[in-house]
Amino acid sequence: MMGPAHSLSGAAAWLGVGAAAAALDHAMPWPVLLVGALICAGAALAPDLDHKSATISRAFGPLSRALCGIVDKISYGVYKATKSSRDARRSGGHRTLTHTWLWAVLIGAGFSALAVLGGRWAVLGILFVHLVLAVEGLLWRAARVSSDVLVWLLGATSAWILAGVLDQPGNGADWLFTGDGQEYLWLGLPVLLGAVVHTIGDALTISGCPMFWPLPIAGKRWYPVGPPKLMRFRAGSWVELKVLMPAFMLLGGAGGAAALGYI
């Protein structure tokens, strides 16, 4: 899928989690619902760090473009080192390492650890990065024609404001994990969910997605999981733009309303 659809699916997924949490009598405070949805929308772009032409490659200028090139080479190296004889030959690392659920778990755990051990500035950094990505994904056309600096300023300002709101008692810094020193441990959850949702979205496309690596399937380590080929679509096709994206908006709206107790 393309960037906007990935981001919408990420936001909708977190709002759905918020609805489930409310149904289980562990409702999210509204700042957690909002911040989590934005982080998940941004994190749903992150697996495409292995692609130099992806939305994420322009998010932070030369830095993100260079990082995409490095991740592409690392992913390709891991693919070559672990592929079986039945896996196809390829010339790059797109849709390999960063498109697996193992990567999603590791990156989610890493951001949780960073949030807990790094203190306020780490939390601000996590919020800044993912809010910039959320703007790039959810407001794709506007971000394309605006200055990168303006997008960064919006991300930095929003991160500062939202972190201040979360720090207020009862607003969710300790949501889900209430032990001493566990504030913001939950920040890794929307990161993990965004990565998982990204892989599921890509699995619906023609190429499929090797989300279950390194588990062997049909003799392949990098088996491209997906529905029957008749049910798949091309990235950026009318199915994505006219069916899936409106569906994500409706599902997200319903999930948010349920999470806040309106339905």
pLDDT digits (tens, 9 = 90+) for 117-154: 999 999 999 999 999 999 999 987 665 656 788 899 99
The pLDDT assigned to 145 comes to: 55
Tell me how far apart the alpha carbons of residues 60 and 67 are, in angstroms, rounded to a whole number.
10
Report, as an integer, the average pLDDT of 74-92: 94
For the chain, give every domain's residue range. Answer: 3-260
Cis peptide, bond prior to residue 214, ω within 30 of zero: yes
The pLDDT assigned to 141 comes to: 62
The pLDDT assigned to 58 comes to: 86
What does the CA dihedral 64, 69, 71, 74 come to, rounded to 10 degrees? -160
How large a percentage of the chain has pLDDT more than 90?
84
Scan for tokens 């913001």, then name that residue: 184
63: number of Cβ within 10 Å: 9
Going by pLDDT thresholds of 50, 70 and 90, the confidence category of residue 165 is: very high
pLDDT digits (tens, 9 = 90+) for 27-82: 999 999 999 999 999 999 999 999 988 889 889 999 999 999 999 999 999 999 99
pLDDT for 9 beyond 60: yes
pLDDT for 228 beyond 90: yes
pLDDT digits (tens, 9 = 90+) for 187-210: 999 999 999 999 999 999 999 999
Residues 6 or more apart whose Cβ sits within 8 Å of residue 48:
3, 6, 54, 55, 56, 57, 94, 98, 198
Q: Are 49 and 98 in contact (CB under 8 A)?
A: yes
pTM: 0.95
206 residue type, one letter: I
Please, what is the average pLDDT of the chain?
94
pLDDT for 5 beyond 80: yes
Tell me how far apart the alpha carbons of residues 177 and 174 are, in angstroms, rounded to a whole number.
6
